[in-house]
Amino acid sequence: MPELPEVETVRRGLLPAMDGKFIKSADVRRPDLRWPFPENMANRLSGKKVEGLRRRSKYILVDLSSGETLIIHLGMSGRMLISGQHSTHMYHEHPAPQKHDHVILDMEDGTRVTFNDARRFGAMDLHVTNTLENHKLISVLGPEPLGNAFHAEYLSERLKNKKSPIKTALLDQGIVSGLGNIYVCEVLHRVGISPLTSANALSTQRIASLVPAIRDVLSEAIDAGGSSLKDFRQADGDLGYFQHNFRVYGREGLPCVTQECEGKIQRIVQSGRSSFYCLQCQR
């Protein structure tokens, strides 16, 4: 499932195609994805101006001139594909709609934005912009890890009574939003903390070390266009390439990259998810 860096990469890719432009028409080609689409969705999108594109956790938020916000979740395999963009050199025609093209937005300038989702675990919803924080998907989210509300004091307070492993705690979207399995594994290796360590057993200093590591890993991944493992593509169809910088994720049995460490990367399963770590340098 795309994590914060992948969703932020897609949001940035959509900006030139959608920001400040009118949706000429919307074609909703099925009644649902993971959940039913909102009532009369096509008409509520058609003719509306895109006032801005934001991200909250793993959700893309498209603010509309109608006073509503389109909430987009990519799910496991969702892609936002752009076609028909003008450039100084060429004009790209729209491809014929494909089987898994479920929502098609034709913009006023001829650009087309298509939501393609083969597995149909993605979602779209519409909600009043001014009360978006009350939406059931948004209201449960913790602070953004790249924002000012996420800091060492906050994280220490949230973890002090958590008996669960630190890996599990950091995946809790109510504690910090947007983190997923890949980046938590990478963060824990950078700071030398085992994914098995109980969250409440960590010292204040070790918890504090997590905050800059989380910011650094996410920022580096965004700069790299995210990580492409199975389904993820950027809005222009390109792959992300942060996967080439993985220190532990997917590297079971390979040597640890930490200088002077002679350990090898181990894989265990926690809460149904693979955790990769070095038994020697992560304690």
pLDDT (tens digit per residue) in 86-99? 543 444 578 778 88
Give the domains, in start order, of the chain with CATH numbers: 4-134 (3.20.190.10), 152-278 (1.10.8.50)
**How far is it, in rounded angstroms, from Cα 53 to Cα 58?**
13
One-letter-per-residue 3-state SS of 48-114: CEEEEEEEECCEEEEEECCCEEEEEECCCCCEEEEECCECCCCECCCCCCCCCEEEEEEECCCCEEE
Q: Does the pLDDT at position 143 exceed 90?
A: yes
Residues annotated catalytic, as ranges: 2-3, 58, 273
Q: pLDDT tens for residues 35-70? A: 999 999 999 999 999 999 999 999 999 999 999 999
- Average pLDDT for 185-193: 98
Indicate the pTM of the whole model: 0.91
Which pLDDT score is estimated for 95? 79
Burial class (CB in 10 A: 0-12, 13-18, 19+), 267: middle
> Whole-angstrom Cα distance, residue 24 to residue 47?
5
Q: Which of 5-19, 92-106, 137-151, 230-244 has the lowest mean pLDDT?
A: 230-244
The side-by-side arrangement of strands in the sheet containing 79-83 is: 23-28, 101-107, 112-116, 79-83
SS3 state of residue 24 = strand
* Mean pLDDT computed over 252-259: 96
Torsion of CA 272, 175, 199, 3, to 10 degrees: 40
